[in-house]
Chains A and B, each alone.
Chain A
Amino acid sequence: MDEQIGKEVIVTENLKKTYHDNGIPVYAVRGVDLTITRGEFTAIMGPSGSGKTTLLNLISGLDTPTEGKVWLNSKLVSEMTGNELSDFRRDNIGFIFQAYNLIPVLTVEENVEYIMLLQGVPPEERHKRVLKILEEVGLVEMIDRKPPQLSGGQQQRVAVARAMVAKPAIILADEPTANLDSETSGELLDMMRKLNESTGMTFLFSSHDPIVIQRARRVITLTDGKISNDKIKR
C-alpha cells in the first residue's frame, strides 16, 4: 500500500454541473480541476449551496457531469453507465453519509458485510473481515444489533466500517458529523484518521464542521461551485 502513496486516485478536469430548476439553470459546479493522491485525508469545505455535495456526487458517479471528466483510480468514471458503474462503485468507493443510511432490517454484521457479499467474498473471509473492522471501530459487541438499536455515533461507526471493509480506493464522506455531537464527532474523526494512517486509504470529506476541518491534512474551499482555496497543512 505504501508504494501507492502519492499516486493520483481522483482527477477531475473542468468538471461542471448545471441543474435546471423550473427551467432556470443552476450552476452547481463550475469547472473544477482537482487532483487527490492516494492516502490523502482531505476536506472540501464551503457554505451551503457551494457545490460540495454535487462535487462528491460527480466524483462517485452518483451523478453525471454536464461537462468535464472524472478519473477515479485511472478509470474514466464520468463516462461509465449501468452495471459497469455499479460494479466500479462497489469495488472502488466507500460511502459515509450524513444520515448514516444503514439498512434497518439488517444487523450490524450484515450491514458491514453487504458490499463483500456483492463482491462474492466467501462467508468465512467476510466474517473474519467484519470482526476485524468492527474491532477497529469498537463495535464488536454490537455485531448482532440492528441500526435502530444503536446511537447516532455508533451507527456512523458502522457506516465507517461498511465503507472501509471492502478496502476501496477512496472513502467519500458527506457531512459525516452533521448529526453527531462534538465529542462523538471528534472521536469519529480521530478514529477515521487513525484508520487512514494505518491503511493508507484515501478519505475525502465534504463538511463545514470545524472538527473535520481541524483534523484534515488538506482543506479545499469551494465557493459558488469553484475552488477558491486549496491548502495543505504541514
Chain B
Amino acid sequence: MIFKFAYRNILRQKRRTFFTIMTMTVGFTLAAIIIGWTDGSYNLIIEKFTRAYLGHIQIHYQDYLEQPTLYKNIDNYREVGKKLDELQTAESWAPRLYAAGLVSVGEKSTVGQIIGIDPILENKATGFHKQVKKGKTISKTPAKQVVIGKVLAKTLNASIGDTLYIVSQAADGSIANDMYKIIGIVESDDQMKDRMAIYMHLYDAQKLMVLENRVHEIVVMVEDINKVDEVVSQIENSLNNSQLNVLPWMEVNKSFYATMQMDKESNNILSYVVMLIVGIGVLNTVLMAVLERTREFGVLKALGTRPLQIFILIIVEVLIMTIASIVLGAILGTAANYALSHYGIKMPVSYDLAGVTFDTLISEVNLKSIVFPSVLVILAALLVSLFPAVYAAKTEPAKTMRFH
C-alpha cells in the first residue's frame, strides 16, 4: 500500500517529478561518464606504460630495485622462465641485463644505459620490435648489433650503420669495451629510454659485462592486469626462492602508481560535486512536495498513521524517483561510455605522464560506472530527503488541519 500510495503521490505533479528524475538522471549519467572515462583513460595509460617496457610483474634479486648493482643478479633465469611457462596466468616473460657505460660515436660521447634483451622473448612480451622506427630490430642470434634511442642517436649524431663504442667496468673488475654496429633507432613513448637506452642481444651484453647466463630482471606479462596480485602470489609459490623478489608494477614504479591513484581520486571528487548539485535539486522538490501536503499528513496522523509510516512514505517516494533515474542514467551512461570507448576523444595537445606520451582519452564500460553513481544518487537522495521526511512525520494534526 505504501508503495502504491507513494507511486500515485509522485504522479500528482507529473512535470515536477519528470524534472526531478531528469536532474538525477543527468547527475547519474555525468558521474557514470566521469568514472568510465577516468577508468578507461587510466587503464589505457597503465596498459601502455606497462606493455611498453615496465611489464606487469618484475622479478629481481632481493633488493636490486633499491640499490641496483651489476652483482645483484639472477643466475638461473632459464629455470625461472620454465616455471613461468608452466603458469597459465603468466602470458609471457622476458629477461633483461642492465649496465651503464660511456658510449661514443665518432667524436661524440655520452653516458648510456646498456640493456641486454632476448629479442624473441622481448618482442613477445613488450613488442619491442614495434618500437624500432628506423632500421631494423636486433637479430635473433647475437651479432654485436645495437638499437639505440632516438634522442641518444641525436646526441651522438649517430646514424644507422655507424659504429658505437662502449666502455664500462665488467662484473669481474676488468674493463668492458667493445664495438657494435647501430642497426636501428627506437622511438618509444618512454622519453627516458629514448634518451639513454642501448639495446643489444642478451648474450652480447652478458659477454661484455662478464655475466654469462645471468640477468638482472625478468618481466612478466599477465593475461588480466586486474589479477596481477594473484599472479604475483602464484609466481612466489612456484619459485619458492627467498632470494628473488616478485613485485607487481604498482610496487616497481610506486610514483607512477601514486600519480594514477591521486588523479583518480581527484576525478572522483568531480562525481561528488555533481551529486551535491543533484542533491540540492532533489531537496528542493521533496521539500515542496512535503510542504504542500502538510494538511494531508495531518489527516493521515489523525487517522492513526504512525510517524515512522509517514517517514517511510516520503522515503519510498524519493526512492521510486531515484530508481527510475538510475535505470535511465545507467542506459544513457553506458551508451555514452560505449561510444567513447570506441571512438575516444583526441586531445588537442598530447601530454606526458611518467615519461609516457598520450594523445587520446577513451572511456570504458564497467560495473563501477553503474554501481558507484547508483550508490551516490541513492545516498544523496536519501540524505536530502531526511529533513523533509522527518518534518512530515512530525506534522501535528491539530495545527495543520484544525479539524477542517
Question: Cβ of A114: which chain B residues have Cβ within 8 Å of it?
Answer: 303
> How many residues of A sit at the interface, in one of the four size bands?
20 to 34
Minimum CB–CB distance from A145 to chain B (whole Å) comes to 14
* B403:A98 contact, CB within 8 angstroms: yes
Residues of B within 8 A of A99 (CB): 401, 404
What size tier do the contact residues of chain B reach? Answer: 20 to 34
Known contacts A87-B306, A89-B302, A105-B12; A97/B401 CB under 8 A: yes
Q: Which of B1-9, B215-223, B262-270 contacts A (4 or more CB under 8 A)?
A: B1-9
Q: Is A203 at the interface (CB under 8 A from chain B)?
A: no
Interface residue? B187 (CB, 8 A) = no
Decide yes or no whether A190 CB sits under 8 A from chain B.
no
Scoring A residues 155 to 187 as 1 if CB is less than 8 Å from chain B, else 0, what string do you get?
000000010000000000011000000000000
CA distance in complex: A126, B296 (Å): 23
Task: State whether the Cβ of B397 lies closer than 8 Å to any Cβ in chain A.
Answer: yes
Closest to B403 in A: A174
Q: How far is the CA of A90 from the CA of B305 in the complex (A)?
A: 7
**Do residues B398 and A57 form an inter-chain contact, with CB atoms below 8 A?**
yes
Q: Is the CB of B398 within 8 A of A62?
A: yes
A86 to B304, CA, bound (A): 4
**Smallest CB gap from B296: residue in A:** A103
Q: Does B81 belong to the interface (CB within 8 Å)?
A: no
Query: B5 touching A105 by the CB < 8 A rule?
Result: yes
Distance A162 CA – B299 CA, assembled complex (angstroms): 12
Task: Tell me if B304 and A90 are in contact (CB < 8 A).
Answer: yes
Please tell me which one of the listed residues A63, A87, A101, A175 contacts residue B304 in the complex, with CB atoms under 8 A apart: A87
A115 at the B interface (CB under 8 A): yes
- The secondary-structure label for the interface of chain A is helix
**Set of chain B residues within 8 Å of A83, measured between Cβ atoms:** 306-308
A101 to B400, CA, bound (A): 12
How far is the CB of A215 from the nearest CB of chain B, in Å?
A: 20
Cβ A62 vs Cβ B302 within 8 A: yes
A90: chain B residues within 8 A (beta carbon): 303-305
A interface, CB within 8 angstroms of B: 53, 56-57, 60, 62-63, 82-83, 86-91, 95, 97-99, 101, 103-106, 110, 114-115, 117-118, 162, 174-175, 206
Which residues of B are at the interface with A, using a C-beta cutoff of 8 A?
A: 1, 4-5, 8-9, 11-12, 295-296, 299-309, 397-398, 401-404
The 9 closest A-B pairs by CB, nearest first: A90-B304, A105-B8, A174-B403, A63-B398, A62-B398, A101-B299, A89-B304, A62-B397, A86-B306
